[in-house]
Amino acid sequence: MRLTLSPLDSAAATLLVATLTLGLSSPLTHALERPHIIVLFADDLGYGDLGCYGHPTIETPHLDQMAREGLRLTSFYVAPWCVPSRSQIMLGRYSVRNPVGRTGSGGDGGLQEDWVTLPQSLKKAGYHTVMLGKWHLGYQEDRLLPVGKGFDYWFGLPYSNDMRRPWVKTDVPLWLYENTQKVEHPVNQNTLTTRYTQKATEFIRQDHKRPFFLYLAYAMPHLPVRTRDDFRNQSRSGLYGDVIQTLDWSVGRILQALKERKLDDQTLVVFTSDNGPWLNLPARMLQDGNQPWHTGSPGLLRGSKGTTYEGGVRTPCLLRWPGQIPAGKRSAEIVSSIDFYRTFLTLAGGKMPEGVSDSHDLTPFLMGQTTQSPREDFFYFHGSRLDGYRRGPWKILFRNGLELFNLDLDPSERYNRAEERPSLVKDLTTRIRSMAASTGAKLALPE
């Protein structure tokens, strides 16, 4: 069903008030004016949670329409949990290259000074950069917050929404921030999604004299799942479904704002998630109203958040840019969030920073100039450990002994083919050893 919502309560929707310097657009890229870029990043959303990815009862009409009007990826890869996944977007490298330390409540870690973030690179290219939502890449000093890492404005949480009592035994209060100022405690999590959406649409409706990068990192559907009262009891999938349908409403509002401002065909919009659903819940989460079924679905995939099986690291990904990305396309080609960095800079006419990058330029693939992704493989890192490797359809994994899967034939990773393909196992293992040597990653390979 489609949701009909009342206007936002003015007390719950603080207007975007940052005063930012505007400039003029730079030269054209690919014979096109440089696009605005919006990344909508869900938290713990599963591969099977959207209608266009097969959920039988959660209704996501706006995201389904986004899929019809753009590109739907079915082999899109992230990292197994929140922090490494966010570092990969910000730096365009596998997370093992980006050790950030503890960045949750009480932690003093964060992105290093000499790492050039995506928003910093886009600012150099003349972009106006705004972030809304969850950061989780350092907060103890102003320089570690988003406004110290390339964003002109930030409104959101410094880390996950469960990092407060009773779920995490911490004496550090969870605050909502605006730039470097703490503005709300306790945080009203029921209205977080709608407030982020209000700020996003207010920003889009401004008079933009230069291209913008908007990164909206939702708190949901990370536990504890919350939504506003008028979104509750709308989904046949209960509270979790209500929360996903709130995200869908948010996407609809953002796309509508682009159309109203006549920015629709000038804007690349990406929707994805940081990792798979949080199914193996720690006991600390099953209190204060949280239930085991307040989590998502990996669909036909094996595993969940925190694992390097497909359900932990493969998520929905939709990309929409009317007139540039061909509509109604689906692809099983390998793509990763790591690739956003180089792709966005290519579209922005910017320059990649010096240093190691694992990012690929997806622009010919996205625009239909080729059916093949430039990414031919993907390494499965679990923190500092390298668990496995995928090249083409074949995936080798070493966490439960030696496992080899053909993901084209067996996306659920049911059938171990290692014994029948020894030469392939040897070849893929050689590549894993090489990557481990270059990154310093730990290995769990058999002798």
- What's the full length of the chain, in residues? 447
**How far apart, in Å, are the Cα atoms of 416 and each of 84, 300, 332, 397, 431?**
28, 17, 21, 10, 19
**286 contacts: CB under 8 Å, gap ≥ 6:** 292
**319 contacts: CB under 8 Å, gap ≥ 6:** 70, 71, 73, 268, 269, 270, 325, 366
Question: What is the C-alpha separation between 139 and 137, in angstroms, rounded?
Answer: 7
Burial class (CB in 10 A: 0-12, 13-18, 19+), 326: middle
The number of CA neighbours under 13 Å toward the Cβ of 107 is 20
Structural contact between residues 74 and 308, judged by C-beta atoms closer than 8 angstroms: no
What does the block give as tokens for 354? Answer: 């010096």
Question: What is the C-alpha separation between 357 and 379, in angstroms, rounded?
Answer: 14
Question: What is the C-alpha separation between 60 and 249, in angstroms, rounded?
Answer: 8
Question: What is the C-alpha separation between 435 and 443, in angstroms, rounded?
Answer: 10
Question: What is the C-alpha separation between 49 and 295, in angstroms, rounded?
Answer: 10
Catalytic residue numbers read 82, 136
Structural contact between residues 41 and 272, judged by C-beta atoms closer than 8 angstroms: yes
Question: What is the C-alpha separation between 242 and 117, in angstroms, rounded?
Answer: 34
Q: Tell me, letter by letter, the H, E, C secondary structure of 23-70.
A: CCCCCCECCECCCEEEEEEECCCCCCCCHHHCCCCCCCHHHHHHHHCC
Structural contact between residues 104 and 136, judged by C-beta atoms closer than 8 angstroms: yes
**37 contacts: CB under 8 Å, gap ≥ 6:** 122, 127, 211, 212, 213, 214, 267, 268, 270, 344, 347, 348
Strand, coil or helix: 251: helix
Question: What is the C-alpha separation between 272 and 38, in angstroms, rounded?
Answer: 11
- Closest CA relative to residue 236, chosen from 247, 228, 244, 224: 244
